[in-house]
Amino acid sequence: MTSYSVSDAIREVTPVLDHAPAGAVSGEWIATPMLAGSSSCEGGYSDANEQPVRVNLDNSEPSFELFRPSFKIIAEVVEKLAASHALRFNKVTVRWSKAETPSTPGRITLKTEFDEALVAREPDDPIYEAAAAARLAFWRTRGNVAADFAAEWSVANIYNQTRWFGPHRRVLAVRTNDRLILATDGLSTPSGGVPTPENGVECELFMEFDIATTNDKLIDDSALMLIDIGDLIADDFGIAATVEKHGAILFCYLEDDDSPTIQVILSRGADRIERLPFGTVPLIRATPFKEGEIEGPVLLDDWGTQIAINALARRGIVIPFADNEAA
């Protein structure tokens, strides 16, 4: 690629950032180039009181569409800088100040730096197996973990990422005297190639069955269902916090040519898995319901919480209190 400099980047971002929303007097964005298959760009505009600029006056969240151009242009120039190989960096900070007069451009500074904290994990980083070992140790205290069972032993890419962003995407089978538990094993593995100190998507899922009524088909179908639900959760990192807040939510519909539509309720579990690389994560119960079993109007702003709670109660499933709730 032709040499591309910081001056070139500033020249490209200036007209885009100058098209700022009303009330904006400054802005700051922090971006990374593509590192192990992942890049980022965070930040935004601020007003004269150094508060984030919002679209409405009712403290609603900013409209992503309004701010999309600033993120897009910054991401583009960061990749151009990286491709030029003229600078060694893994972090870019862009700052914008509103022009003093309408006829002049705003003031832009663009700083590149190499941040050791952003160095991507290697594919053989021991943190991945440490997460798997912590989950296995937890489940072995609950029952007998089948050694040869998995819904899918997924193959990770060169960055050690599956669709759950870490190397593990599978389901464990745990048997007690009277119960069978199927549990995801991988949602809480730290993301492959990404140094962020988070336990993946900060949760694991489980389903629980009366062992006397299970059969091979039910077990296999349910395990594959957990994989599918896990894929959806991996696409939305906020689900664990949403379940913790509401207690239970109507989460998704699953359809199959050979079976009726299934509606899945996620609810707060009683246990947490400890000793993961970055602390603990909650267990979330996944409960499937056939089409027509759940009735009632769903309010879009409450995740169908009361309907979900009522449906679970009819099955005798009690939602434990959260840490911040009084018993």
- Lowest average pLDDT, out of 93-97, 204-208, 253-257, 275-279, goes to 253-257
Whether 321 is covered by a domain: the verdict is no
Same domain flag for 114 and 168: no
Same domain flag for 175 and 220: yes
Same domain flag for 56 and 156: no
- Predicted confidence at residue 291, as pLDDT, reads 80
Higher pLDDT, 120 or 237: 120
pLDDT classification of 64: cutoffs 50, 70, 90: very low
The CATH number given to whatever domain includes residue 64 is 3.30.500.20
Cα–Cα distances in Å, from 326 out to 226, 271, 321, 322, 323?
Answer: 31, 17, 7, 8, 8
What pTM was computed for the model? 0.77
Higher pLDDT, 231 or 60: 231
Taking only the tens place, the pLDDT of each residue in 270-291 is: 999 999 999 999 999 999 998 8
Taking only the tens place, the pLDDT of each residue in 154-173 is: 789 988 999 999 999 999 99
Same domain flag for 42 and 178: no
Q: Which residues share a beta bridge with 110? A: 94
Q: Is the pLDDT of residue 9 over 60?
A: yes
Whether 97 is covered by a domain: the verdict is yes
Same domain flag for 204 and 81: no
Whether 1 is covered by a domain: the verdict is no
Q: Under 8 Å CB-to-CB from 78, ≥6 apart: which residues?
A: 9, 31, 32, 33, 39, 41, 92
Q: Into how many domains does the chain fold? A: 2
Q: Shortest CA distance to 242 belongs to which of 291, 183, 308, 186? A: 308
Same domain flag for 84 and 147: no
- Predicted confidence at residue 325, as pLDDT, reads 67
Rounded Cα distance, 20 and 26, in Å: 9
Taking only the tens place, the pLDDT of each residue in 11-57 is: 999 999 999 998 999 999 999 998 877 788 999 999 999 999 865 43
Question: Which residues span the domain enclosing 295?
Answer: 134-314
Same domain flag for 189 and 306: yes
Q: Is 46 exposed, middle or buried (0-12, 13-18, 19+ CB in 10 A)?
A: middle
Query: Given the structure tokens 């952003």, which residue do they identify?
Result: 118
- Predicted confidence at residue 148, as pLDDT, reads 82
Rounded Cα distance, 231 and 219, in Å: 19
